[in-house]
Amino acid sequence: MEINIPEIVAEVTEAFMAYEKALLANDVDMIDELFWNDEKTLRYGPNGTVVSHDALSAFRRSRDIGPWVRTLKDTHIVTFGRDFAVANTESTRPTAEGISRQSQTWVRMPEGWRIVSAHVSDQP
């Protein structure tokens, strides 16, 4: 298995940045699109565990966070072959203390790269 094939890293990076743009704009439709539409989709976070695409969409739609700003740092994307990748990053926000961390597992589906699992944590 090839690790970090340059064109695959570029594809996942593009999908990762599309997610980041959607997240900052609170574009829930795009966030929904970038998560695997399946009952096994999972997100761990400071707000608890969310299992299934439907539950994740409902969670996102119930939050009125509006657009916000953060700065990514130490982002690492590693691809395994042509259809599997992990993305990890840290971020800071001007209105919050501490560091947030997120990890995402990406899989190439017939409709494109999708997040199948995510984890978010905040460190004060």
Measured in degrees and rounded to the nearest 5, phi and psi for residue 13 equal -60, -40
pLDDT score of 63: 84
CATH number at residue 86: 3.10.450.50
Residue 43, domain member (yes or no): yes
- Residue 1 falls inside a structural domain: no
Q: What is the mean pLDDT of the chain?
A: 95
Three-class DSSP category at 103: strand
Number of structural domains, the chain?
1
Has residue 104 been placed in a domain?
yes
pLDDT, tens digit, for every residue of 29-76?
Answer: 999 999 999 999 999 998 899 999 999 999 999 987 777 899 999 999
- The Cα 10–Cα 82 span in angstroms is 11
Mean pLDDT, rounded, for 8-33? 96
Residue 16 counted as domain residue: yes
User: What is the domain extent for residue 25?
Assistant: 6-123
Q: How confident is the model at residue 124 (pLDDT cuts 50, 70, 90)?
A: confident
What distance in Å separates the CA atoms of residue 19 and residue 30, rounded to the nearest whole number?
7
DSSP structure string for 21-39: HHHHHT-HHHHHHHB--ST
d(CA 41, CA 94): 31
Q: Which is higher by pLDDT, 102 or 123?
A: 102
How far apart are the C-alpha atoms of 2 and 66, rounded to whole Å? 40
